């Protein structure tokens, strides 16, 4: 490889998302030099099922890398960092062929398996070692589902690799993972950082089926000759182990210490706070996972329909009559509290804090004076109330953060950020630098290449933010009352959802 100065070198961040594979090329100053995406399709062969073929991940990855290497010289690429959707496994046989489509993170078929694993392991093991409730989206119950429902496929099972780790295998031939994705399988002991014998025994899975665990900034392997031909990358380019998408997205916004809380309004919504130890919520309403930063973990609350609630309202109820910008403008001209209209954003069930797959969305309090503008604002407020429930639990189990950063597509709306600031009663910051999973994966590649000595160093130089919204004291009483009504409404309806 030709020698170049560090200022000319590039790192790539590669994100194996649910809707697309995205690659970002980043230079030494943290600037995005080039990006490209290749779309992916989610299949639903039955209601409540969600699947993708891991071979489609690879096809999209090879096309994306071919496109990026047609725009930047492969010789300038010093390393590639990986990230991707959590929990979604590639299941391989002994010849490393894909056995069946991957059961994705948003698949809901495994309720019976979740209940059986919970009974088998008990609350003490879940709290002390796994750090999470066993929920349908996680990897472990999917393996038990395979055993229960597709025994011939289970008998062929030889390797289990999460999405980004399957791509690492296709690029390098190495079966490697790292703590953030390993913890998302629920097969990792958070305290020891090793595979949990109790969970593997319950699943009847051997450690030999699971990849070796290394640090997120470690070199997982090097581009093989075959992969070089298929991607355009140079043979022996280092592939960095990387991290789960939530973890690397937090890195990209500066979420590396327990003083900074990241709130994301994406398709789903998350509240994420790093910790210096596994801070497991005793009620297990929060998730606890390993971070992509060494000796760091994070607590996370998740709501399943954040930006998706507004997307649903615009597309399915308003038939795409208005662009998002017009909806935003109309909602801006309505009163705080949406004139007593309440929206529960539980379109596809809910995780934090209810863990109720049967919960459903509700507009409550409609009258003839309400318009689509009130309903739009009510959706935004309902999502903000759902996020507040996660923030409240995090603040009960941790020292309150000194800074809150809001990100995701919903954060582009000044109104939505203002609503969230008033509901949470805290100032909110927005990043002014590039964010996202592929960018965070590139940051891990830069750390691998010793461009920086620590996560704090790279975030200090590559990540910037500015104050975006402060609470308006005139809205405090209104939002207190609305939030109380929001919680009461769910409590009144919770017993009815399942029936």
Residues with a catalytic annotation lie at 245
Q: What is the dihedral of CA 298, 305, 21, 37, to 10 degrees?
A: -120
Contact 166, 57 (CB under 8 A): yes
Q: Which residue has the tokens 């500066």?
A: 254
How many other CB atoms are found less than 10 A from the CB of residue 285?
Answer: 18
Closest to 418 in 3D by CA, of 363, 379, 446, 381 = 381
Taking alpha carbons only, the member of 380, 391, 374 closest to residue 418 is 380
Tokens of 258: 């327990």
- Strand 428-431 and strand 403-407: the pairing is parallel
Residues 158, 100: Cα–Cα separation, whole Å: 13
* Contact (CB, 8 A) for 75 and 236: no
State how far the Cα of 92 lies from the Cα of 438, in Å rounded to an integer: 26
C-alpha 317/C-alpha 410 separation (Å) is 19
Task: Please identify which residue in the block is written with the tokens 């349908």.
Answer: 136
Contact 52, 44 (CB under 8 A): no
| Nearest CA among 16, 33, 10 for reference residue 82 | 16
- Label residues 204-222 b or e (16+ Cβ within 10 Å = b): ebeeebbbebbbbbbbbbb
Phi, psi for residue 232 in degrees, rounded to 5: 90, -5
Long-range contacts of 488-497 (CB under 8 A, 24+ apart): 489/342, 489/344, 489/362, 489/364, 490/344, 490/346, 490/354, 490/359, 493/344, 493/362, 494/354, 494/356, 494/359, 497/356, 497/358, 497/359, 497/360
Spatial separation of the C-alpha atoms in residues 148 and 146, rounded to whole Å: 5
436: helix, strand or coil: coil
CA angle 311, 417, 283 (to 5 degrees): 80
């Amino acid at each position: 490889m030709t020698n170049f100065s560090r200022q000319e070198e590039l790192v790539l961040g590669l994100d194996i998302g649910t809707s697309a594979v995205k690659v970002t090329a980043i230079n030494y100053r943290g600037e995005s030099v080039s990006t490209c995406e290749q779309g992916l399709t989610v299949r639903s062969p039955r209601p409540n099922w969600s699947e993708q073929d891991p071979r489609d991940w690879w096809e999209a990855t090879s096309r994306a890398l071919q496109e990026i290497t047609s725009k930047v010289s492969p010789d300038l690429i010093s390393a590639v960092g990986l990230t991707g959707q959590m929990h979604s496994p590639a299941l391989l046989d002994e010849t490393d062929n894909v056995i069946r489509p991957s059961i994705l993170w948003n698949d809901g078929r495994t309720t019976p398996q979740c209940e059986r694993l919970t009974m088998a392991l008990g609350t003490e093991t879940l709290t002390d070692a796994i750090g999470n409730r066993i929920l349908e989206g996680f990897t472990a119950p999917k393996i038990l589902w395979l055993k229960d429902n597709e025994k011939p496929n289970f008998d062929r099972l030889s390797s289990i690799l999460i999405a980004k780790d399957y791509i690492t295998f296709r690029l390098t031939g190495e079966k490697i993972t790292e703590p953030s994705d390993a913890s998302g399988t629920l097969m990792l002991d958070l305290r020891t950082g090793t595979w949990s014998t109790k969970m593997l025994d319950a699943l009847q899975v051997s450690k030999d089926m699971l990849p070796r665990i290394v640090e997120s900034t470690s070199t997982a392997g090097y581009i093989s000759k075959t992969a070089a031909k298929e991607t355009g990358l140079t043979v022996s380019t280092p592939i960095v182990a990387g991290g789960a998408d939530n973890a690397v997205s937090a890195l990209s916004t500066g979420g590396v210490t327990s003083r900074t809380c990241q709130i994301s309004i994406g398709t789903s919504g998350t509240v994420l706070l790093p910790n210096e130890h596994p801070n497991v919520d005793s009620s297990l309403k929060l998730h606890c996972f390993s971070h992509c930063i060494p000796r760091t973990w994070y607590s996370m609350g998740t709501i399943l329909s954040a930006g998706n609630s507004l997307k649903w309202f615009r597309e399915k109820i308003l038939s795409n009559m208005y662009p998002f910008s017009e909806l935003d403008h109309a909602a801006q001209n309505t009163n705080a509290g949406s004139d007593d209209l309440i929206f529960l954003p539980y379109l596809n069930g809910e995780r934090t804090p209810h863990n109720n797959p049967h919960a459903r969305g509700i507009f409550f309090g409609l009258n003839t004076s309400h318009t689509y503008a009130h309903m739009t604002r009510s959706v935004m407020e309902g999502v903000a109330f759902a996020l507040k429930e996660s923030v409240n639990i995090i603040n009960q189990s941790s020292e309150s953060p000194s800074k809150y950063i809001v990100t995701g597509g919903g954060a582009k709306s000044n109104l939505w950020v203002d609503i969230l600031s008033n509901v949470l009663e805290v100032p909110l910051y927005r990043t002014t630098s590039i964010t996202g999973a592929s960018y965070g994966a590139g940051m891990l590649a830069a750390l691998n290449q010793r461009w920086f000595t620590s996560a704090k160093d790279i975030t200090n130089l590559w990540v910037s933010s500015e104050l975006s919204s402060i609470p308006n004291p005139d809205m405090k009483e209104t939002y207190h009352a609305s939030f109380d009504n929001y919680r009461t409404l769910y409590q009144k309806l919770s017993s009815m959802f399942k029936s």
